[in-house]
Structure 1
Amino acid sequence: MSFIADKQTLDDLSLLGKYNPNSVFSLFNKVKTRGAEKLLDAMFQQPLTDAGKINSRSAIFRYFSDNPVAFPFDDAMLDRMEAYVDGAGESSLMLSFFQVTRKKLAEVLLRGEEFQLEMTGINSTLQVIKTAEGLLKQLEKEGRDKNTPWEKWAGIVRHIVQDPRLKERSANQLSFFQVVKLHELLTGQFRGQLIQLLHLTYEIDLYIAVAGVARERGFCYATAFPKSDNLLSAKGVRHPGLDKAVPNSLSFNGKSNVLFLTGANMAGKSTLMKSTGILVYLAHMGFPVAATELQFSVLDGIYSSVNVPDDINKGYSHFYAEVLRVKKVAEEVADGKSLFIIFDELFKGTNVKDAYDATLAVTEAFTDFTDCFFIISTHIFEAGHALDKMEDQIQFRFLPTVMKDNVPQYTYQLEKGITTDRQGMIIIENEGILDML
């Protein structure tokens, strides 16, 4: 079963988006090759739901973080090699002779470019092999070619470079018939291994890049447990895109599965919730996370309700869109799925009385679904006081506001309890809006 995260959630958390410089994808997209970028996109699109696979991938990233190495390959050269090996198809010596002869004749008689493209492909492939051989020697010298994530890559490179037929390093120095033989060797006998080498090289590019981001930004590597363990314990959680984010710690389990969050506007509620959602998503990818420690049970997915838009075409008001979002989540949790749920300012699109009643009823109902974890934020702190009787099941936390010279300041540090802070009018007055009017 694949990990669940719908478009609303992906947008709320700014997870995807190659061309969005503020997306989590862009944060990790420091790869050198297009092949690695495709792999990165695939991993973002398909988080894992198996604890063993998550921990295995995480261990690889951790290895490259602890054992950094520069990626020595040229992207353009790898592209040309990939186009050459993929485009040629499997080849025999006779077929290679006819293919190369046709391209050579077209060059001589029609000034065609196919033969030169052929030579470029061969030379690029030989250069990639030479670069791989140099890296392999470095790994062998450092003892990193065996019993490490390099082992499979190193085995393929070793098998290729040890073949005496590949001792030539430039097809430009060869006769026509030597070029034919080399073409048959690369696109026939070694084609499968070269394709595999390319794929593993792209993977290594990805591992090096992601590990580099983790090392630079001080991310940690999570430990995944089976779903049945039903826990999430995170220390030092922060938003991965912020350089000076204030860390917070959170924990959930079957006996305490709802976090009821209060705080004034600008106190940091949305950022904390997004940070936690991103943490959960990246952890299921096996990626490093913006925290100092994370242990979690595998979940089936994540749903968020942060920026729920109205829908003019369907005639949905903002409030009705919120209701439909809650209904969707209710259907999923009632179906027995283990989910991480984020509701930021639940039912903010309606009047205070209805919002109070709905927040109270929905929050109380969610406590029954102990295989799911919820963060619910609200300005309606009265609803929190009404839920006091469920303190064992519900964690009450708030982000405080400190007044200094009638100016609100924010610690962004979670504290236990429910806040009654409301500084909306103070902010409006401080901005001089009433004086303008």
Structure 2
Amino acid sequence: GSRKLKQWLHQPLANRRGIEERQRLVEELITQYFTRVELQGLLKEVYDLERLSGRIAFGSASGRDLAQLRSSLEKVPAIISELADSGSGELVKFSAKLDRCGEVCDLLEAISENPPLSAKEGGVIREGFNDKLDQYRYASRNGKDWIAELEQRERQLTGIKSLKIGYNRIFGYYIEVSKANMHLADLARYERKQTLANAERYITPELKEKEALILTAEEESLSLEYELFVQIRDKVKQYIPRIQKLASTLSELDVFVSFSNVAEKYRFVKPEFNDAREISIIEGRHPVVEKMLNKQHYVPNDCVLTEQQNMMLITGPNMSGKSTYMRQVALTIVLAQIGSYVPAESANLPIVDQIFTRIGAADDLVSGQSTFMVEMLESQYAITHATERSLLLFDEIGRGTSTYDGMALAQSMIEYIHDHIGANTLFSTHYHELTALDQSLDKLNNVHVAAMEQSGKVVFLHKVKSGPADKSYGIHVAELANLPQAILGRARDLLKSFEEGKKQKVSHVEQLSFFDERDTDSEEVLQTIADVNIAAMTPLQSLQLLNDLQAKLSKKG
């Protein structure tokens, strides 16, 4: 299920019918609580069928893998029954998609209950499956019982309580007697086989005869058992396409069960869809951030984009939640288009064809690309590939260059998206000058993430409200980062002087502009310069003209 969910997140559906079919399944699982609990329990006992299929296909599956496959397939009839008995239309319909794979189950009956990891160790094939194998096992087992009896008998005959019969692959079976008890050994029957530092090893004609029988039976048993195992594995290989299809269907069911659990636990709602391009998310939340906050309260926010106003310019201080707000809108749409419920009080969404994001700072120094270059490349890709049915998220465009360069690029992008693409767009910025664009761009709407000052400290409210932000609170954020007070104090003084200088500069420009508009003499001089053909004038004529113009300006002064 986790791989299926990842696949769906990477490739959400773009057709309404498919999305709503998934929604109906989730809805029925929410209402059918006991069915959901039973399914969850059964699905937990199903092993990873995709990986098992892969091992079988490559011929690397062990006896334990085949036992896990059998155990998983044995749960399928119960899963089908739970779905079929639920009485819910979509669940009953889904049950028909599940393949019991009965032929595979029959083949796997040959595998023992708890086979070892290696198929060559024996114990993989169950008793009673093959007569010849059972005969070999009987001979081997009885031979070992006979050896245990022989050990007891030899201890009684010799009186050596520490006497033991052992086995190794090089010397086979042997009777071991310690050096201290060698004088008690019956050398008339015992034939020396191996000398050790503290013991002697012997063999008797009787033991030699049984050894041949036991080892032959054991060797033949292991050989035949592995041969039978490979035959079964190869037969199962023919059913891999069916097993893979079953795995895919079960993984879908696993995801649907998870969707319904999450929807119930975290108060997700079923989103509705519209054929227009309007987004209406009421009291939306970021599902990941909300979960990480634990007991803290997450501040929900609305996001409303209409056909008339489908661009949102977001301002507000750093750390106030602009990026989180943008991400939660995108996540809500992705969740909706994979068939999940969404974290909101209500949601009415369009079917989005693509989501493009330009969020966060990154570079690619190996390729010689700066942070700003990466930002521009990502922006270029989004703008050239987006359609009117796309969603664009741009966070702080233009920060990697000079203020005026960045502001000019940001404004130009907003205007281009507004005039040429028409996609739903969330655009956050610290350039407050851009908030004036709502006067010239009909579809642009200003919003800000609220913050307030209390006793000289900034308090982030994390609430998105209409209108532009009044200030950036950058120095307040620096204070939260514990920058030295000397730096913060100097920054406040500089900010104050910058703001006053800006006002004076604006005032000075306005005064010049005011007088220039009424200065007819200056306009006449400028017009004369513009009209004169310098190439056709002699040096003396040029000097004369310059003298006249200077006189006119001096007279004005």
TM-score (norm 2): 0.57
Residue 402, structure 1, aligned to residue 344, structure 2: no
Q: What is the DSSP-based 3-state SS (H/G/I as helix, E as strand, rest coil) of the residue aligned with 1:364?
A: helix
Q: What is the DSSP-based 3-state SS (H/G/I as helix, E as strand, rest coil) of the residue aligned with 2:366?
A: coil
Superposed CA deviations along residues 132-177 of structure 1, whole A, max 9, x for unmatched, are 3344444555435xx223534357567959x999999978464327
Q: Retained in 1: the 8 A contact 2:277–2:424?
A: no
Q: Retained in 1: the 8 A contact 2:49–2:247?
A: no
Superposed CA deviations along residues 374-394 of structure 1, whole A, max 9, x for unmatched, are 11111111211243233x411
Residue 175, structure 1, aligned to residue 110, structure 2: no
Which of these residues, 369, 382, 385, is aligned with residue 436 of structure 2? Answer: 385
Change (3 A) 1:150 1:205: farther
Residue identity in the other structure for 2:71: Q
Superposed CA deviations along residues 232-287 of structure 1, whole A, max 9, x for unmatched, are 22122211112332111112233212101111112111111111122222223223
Q: Distance in 2 between matches of 1:434 and 1:49?
A: 52
Q: Distance in 2 between matches of 1:121 and 1:324?
A: 48
Residue 260, structure 1, aligned to residue 313, structure 2: yes
Q: Distance in 2 between matches of 1:358 and 1:188?
A: 59
Report which of the two structures shows the higher radius of gyration computed on alpha carbons.
2
Q: CA deviation at 1:289?
A: 2.3
2:511 equivalent in structure 1: none
Residue identity in the other structure for 1:133: P
Change (3 A) 1:420 1:81: closer
Q: CA deviation at 1:368?
A: 1.8
Q: What is the DSSP-based 3-state SS (H/G/I as helix, E as strand, rest coil) of the residue aligned with 1:246?
A: coil
Q: What is the DSSP-based 3-state SS (H/G/I as helix, E as strand, rest coil) of the residue aligned with 2:401?
A: coil
Structure-to-structure mapping, 1:176-195, within 5 angstroms: 176=130, 187=236, 194-195=243-244
1:49 equivalent in structure 2: 14
2:473 equivalent in structure 1: 423
Superposed CA deviations along residues 33-52 of structure 1, whole A, max 9, x for unmatched, are xxx22222221221222121
Q: Retained in 2: the 8 A contact 1:129–1:157?
A: no
Q: Distance in 2 between matches of 1:219 and 1:278?
A: 13
Residue 222, structure 1, aligned to residue 164, structure 2: no
Residue 78, structure 1, aligned to residue 47, structure 2: yes
Q: CA deviation at 1:396?
A: 0.9
Change (3 A) 1:38 1:138: closer
Q: CA deviation at 1:193?
A: 5.3
Q: Distance in 2 between matches of 1:77 and 1:432?
A: 53
TM-score (norm 1): 0.71
Q: What is the DSSP-based 3-state SS (H/G/I as helix, E as strand, rest coil) of the residue aligned with 1:313?
A: helix
Superposed CA deviations along residues 48-85 of structure 1, whole A, max 9, x for unmatched, are 22121122223223332333324234767634797379
Change (3 A) 1:349 1:167: closer
Q: Distance in 1 between matches of 2:476 and 2:107?
A: 79
Residue 287, structure 1, aligned to residue 340, structure 2: yes
Any stretches of 5+ residues in structure 2 without a counterpart?
114-124, 132-224, 291-296, 488-557
Q: Distance in 2 between matches of 1:316 and 1:199?
A: 41
Q: Retained in 1: the 8 A contact 2:449–2:463?
A: yes
Residue 149, structure 1, aligned to residue 149, structure 2: no
Q: Retained in 1: the 8 A contact 2:278–2:349?
A: yes
Superposed CA deviations along residues 281-324 of structure 1, whole A, max 9, x for unmatched, are 22232233222222222222111111142332343333333333
Q: Distance in 2 between matches of 1:188 and 1:426?
A: 66
Q: Distance in 2 between matches of 1:431 and 1:159?
A: 62
Q: Retained in 2: the 8 A contact 1:49–1:298?
A: yes
Superposed CA deviations along residues 70-125 of structure 1, whole A, max 9, x for unmatched, are 42347676347973798379xxxxxxxxxxxxxxxxxxxxxxx99xx55x566545
Residue 201, structure 1, aligned to residue 250, structure 2: yes
2:37 equivalent in structure 1: 69
Q: What is the DSSP-based 3-state SS (H/G/I as helix, E as strand, rest coil) of the residue aligned with 2:347?
A: strand
Q: Distance in 1 between matches of 2:485 and 2:50?
A: 68
Q: Distance in 1 between matches of 2:483 and 2:428?
A: 28
Segment drifting more, 76-85 vs 121-130: 76-85
Q: CA deviation at 1:405?
A: 1.5
Residue identity in the other structure for 1:269: K
Q: Higher relative contact order by CA 8 Å / sep ≥ 6: 1 or 2?
A: 1
Q: Distance in 2 between matches of 1:59 and 1:290?
A: 17
Q: Retained in 2: the 8 A contact 1:73–1:128?
A: no
Q: Distance in 1 between matches of 2:84 and 2:460?
A: 53
Q: Distance in 1 between matches of 2:8 and 2:377?
A: 29
Change (3 A) 1:256 1:129: same
- What percent identity do the matched residue pairs reach? 19
Q: What is the DSSP-based 3-state SS (H/G/I as helix, E as strand, rest coil) of the residue aligned with 2:246?
A: helix
Q: Distance in 1 between matches of 2:14 and 2:84?
A: 35
Q: Distance in 2 between matches of 1:429 and 1:137?
A: 63
Q: Distance in 2 between matches of 1:348 and 1:188?
A: 58
1:346 equivalent in structure 2: 397
Q: What is the DSSP-based 3-state SS (H/G/I as helix, E as strand, rest coil) of the residue aligned with 2:343?
A: coil
Q: CA deviation at 1:188?
A: 9.0
Segment drifting more, 194-203 vs 152-161: 152-161
Q: Distance in 1 between matches of 2:10 and 2:439?
A: 40
Q: CA deviation at 1:406?
A: 1.4
Change (3 A) 1:433 1:311: same
Superposed CA deviations along residues 168-214 of structure 1, whole A, max 9, x for unmatched, are 9978464327x98x969x84997765554333222222221232223
Q: Retained in 2: the 8 A contact 1:218–1:290?
A: yes
Residue identity in the other structure for 2:37: V
1:101 equivalent in structure 2: none
Change (3 A) 1:60 1:86: farther
Which of these residues, 41, 49, 71, is aligned with residue 127 of structure 1? Answer: 71
Q: Retained in 1: the 8 A contact 2:450–2:460?
A: yes
1:96 equivalent in structure 2: none
1:232 equivalent in structure 2: 279
Change (3 A) 1:56 1:313: same
Q: Distance in 1 between matches of 2:84 and 2:91?
A: 13
Residue identity in the other structure for 2:261: G
Any stretches of 5+ residues in structure 1 without a counterpart?
1-35, 90-112
Q: Retained in 1: the 8 A contact 2:85–2:92?
A: no
Change (3 A) 1:81 1:238: closer
